[in-house]
Structure 1
């Protein structure tokens, strides 16, 4: 099970990342771009993910992943159930979501470290 505290600990290590509480929801962003957001009850987490790959992700693990609401399908976004998400997998997903929104040189630096 993954918690907001787990994601917070990781996000603090990611350059330019900041945490915000918006309408009672914890969100992590770079500048004005959100790359991870939790539901109000923290039972689900949405994160940046390539649109062209998300159907495959959801089909591969439908008990863990699901598509966002219809109004958010236009974004590079997918959601998961935090109770079913393993810590190592969360690290990979959050880091990749962060990499989607930072300048390429920062993403390369993170890969090299």
Structure 2
């Protein structure tokens, strides 16, 4: 069980309207100007936007894979160690992070496309 940086990049850039930005030691990911993820290649970790409840649950369940990064408003950001997660679970977490930041119309269109909503 491990996800490579290249696999992570395929997952995140496979979502609609994702843009990347460089920030020194990290790469940021945004959808229409709103951030939802970060990649730290040096440590093979990513930071993902989540609800505070999801953040707490992930960290409590598997502290060897997930770390609390910070909270901001109603969101909790979680650090994910790529060597401790599989591609399916990471895809789900990245998609959830994207959905928390994407405009409603774009999120709904994507959910229809992948069969999450009628």
Instruction: Note whether the superposition's TM-score is higher than 0.5.
Output: yes
TM-score, length-scaled by structure 1:
0.85
Backbone CA RMSD of aligned residues = 1.7
- Specify the alignment match of 1:43 in structure 2: 44
Residue 64 of structure 2: SS of its match in structure 1? coil
Native 8 Å contact 2:5 2:44 kept in 1? no
Normalising by structure 2, report the TM-score: 0.81
Structure 2 gaps of 5+ residues are 114-118
Counting only pairs closer than 5 Å after superposition, residues 1-113 of structure 1 correspond to structure 2 as 1-68=2-69, 72-74=70-72, 75-113=75-113
How far apart in 2 are the matches of 1:90 and 1:40?
16
Secondary structure of 1:35's aligned partner:
strand
Q: Give 1:2 shift.
A: 1.6
Deviation at 1:55, TM superposition (A): 1.1
Count of aligned positions? 110
Rounded Cα–Cα distance in structure 2 between residues aligned with 1:28 and 1:53: 20
Q: SS where residue 14 of structure 1 aligns?
A: coil
